[in-house]
């Protein structure tokens, strides 16, 4: 559990905390299996029905591992496994990398920044806090590209993506990677996110404080667990004031 003390770093979730991108998110959890193969040029259009059936079955097995064990598969690895599912192999690492880049760049236009993000990040930076992102994402560069497109990349000292760690939130290891990347101990950091289980429970079990920023559809598990957020906010603009209040109390 966390102990009272000075906060030196703030780590953020990405989707529905800093940005919104519904089409990209839908692709991440479903469409990526077919779309990776389309970007590899496997078919001229939609896949044949038999190929689609095999891909859906293979991806369902991957999703079971992802959701049950918190293991992450990169976009490139998903592409490789989907190729095997339809009896194809021999695609180069370079081809898989290029297909992943094309696929994720196609979704950059879908990204919008959450209200108050720039002001909140600037206020935290002025307060001398190190900022980072820890996110579940199948292709890490997408986060940096999205932030760059909206002028926010330079605010962050580090970005840790599950595709690069190989594990997803709420696993302790990905939060530990984020803490190492910004150079602070768990008791010196707070995590801000919208998902109660992945963000709040995950961060608290990793020894951090947690600020919950629920969106309209967020499930509230406070009645069901003794692991609760240290603060609840309605938007990013409220985060600097929460940290200022903690500093005053300390």
pLDDT in tens, 191-235: 999 999 999 999 999 999 999 999 988 999 999 999 999 999 999
Q: How far apart are the first and last CA of the chain?
A: 17
Whether 34 and 91 share a structural domain: yes
Query: Is residue 200 in some structural domain?
Result: yes
13 and 30 inside one domain: no
- The pTM of the full predicted model, rounded to 2 decimals, is 0.95
For 45-98, give the DSSP string: SSPPHHHHHHHHHHHHHHHHHHHHH-B---HHHHHHHHHHHTT-----HHHHHH
Strand partners, 43: none
Q: What confidence score (pLDDT) does residue 250 get?
A: 67
Query: 229-247: per-residue pLDDT in tens?
Result: 999 999 999 999 999 999 9
Tell me if 170 is assigned to some domain.
Answer: yes
Confidence at residue 249, expressed as pLDDT on a 0 to 100 scale: 83
Residue 5 has pLDDT above 80, yes or no: no
Q: Do residues 26 and 16 share a domain?
A: no
Distance CA 186, CA 207 (A): 5
Is the pLDDT score of 3 beyond 70?
no
Q: What is the mean pLDDT of residues 104-129?
A: 97
| pLDDT in the model for residue 96 | 98
- End residue of a domain, out of 65, 92, 109: 109
Q: Kindly state the tokens that stand for 237.
A: 């603009």
Q: Residue 182: which CATH number?
A: 3.40.50.1000
User: For 34-90, what is each residue's pLDDT tens digit?
Assistant: 999 999 999 988 999 999 999 999 999 999 999 999 999 999 999 999 999 999 988
User: In the chain, how many domains are there?
Assistant: 2
In a domain, 85, yes or no: yes
């Amino acid at each position: 559990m966390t102990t009272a003390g000075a906060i030196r770093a703030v780590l953020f979730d990405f989707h529905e905390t800093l940005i919104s991108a519904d089409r990209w998110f839908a692709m991440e959890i479903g469409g990526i299996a077919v779309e990776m193969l389309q970007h590899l040029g496997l078919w001229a259009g939609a896949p044949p029905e038999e190929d689609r059936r095999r891909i859906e079955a293979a991806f369902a097995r991957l999703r079971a591992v992802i959701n049950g064990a918190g293991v992450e598969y990169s976009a490139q690895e998903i592409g490789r496994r989907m190729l095997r599912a339809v009896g194809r192999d021999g695609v180069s690492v370079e081809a898989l990398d290029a297909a992943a880049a094309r696929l994720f760049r196609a979704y950059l236009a879908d990204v919008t920044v959450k209200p108050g993000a720039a002001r909140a990040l600037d206020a935290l930076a002025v307060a001398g806090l190190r900022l980072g992102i820890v996110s579940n994402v199948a292709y890490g560069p997408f986060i940096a590209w999205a932030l760059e497109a909206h002028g926010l990349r330079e605010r962050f000292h580090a970005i840790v993506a599950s595709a690069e760690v190989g594990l997803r939130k709420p696993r302790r290891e990905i939060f530990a990677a984020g803490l190492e990347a910004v150079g602070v101990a768990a008791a010196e950091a707070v995590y801000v996110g919208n998902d109660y289980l992945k963000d709040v429970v995950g961060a608290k079990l990793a020894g951090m404080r947690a600020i919950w920023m629920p969106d309209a559809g967020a499930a509230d598990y406070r009645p069901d667990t003794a692991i609760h957020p240290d603060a609840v906010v309605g938007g990013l603009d409220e985060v600097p004031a929460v940290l200022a209040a903690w500093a005053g109390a300390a």
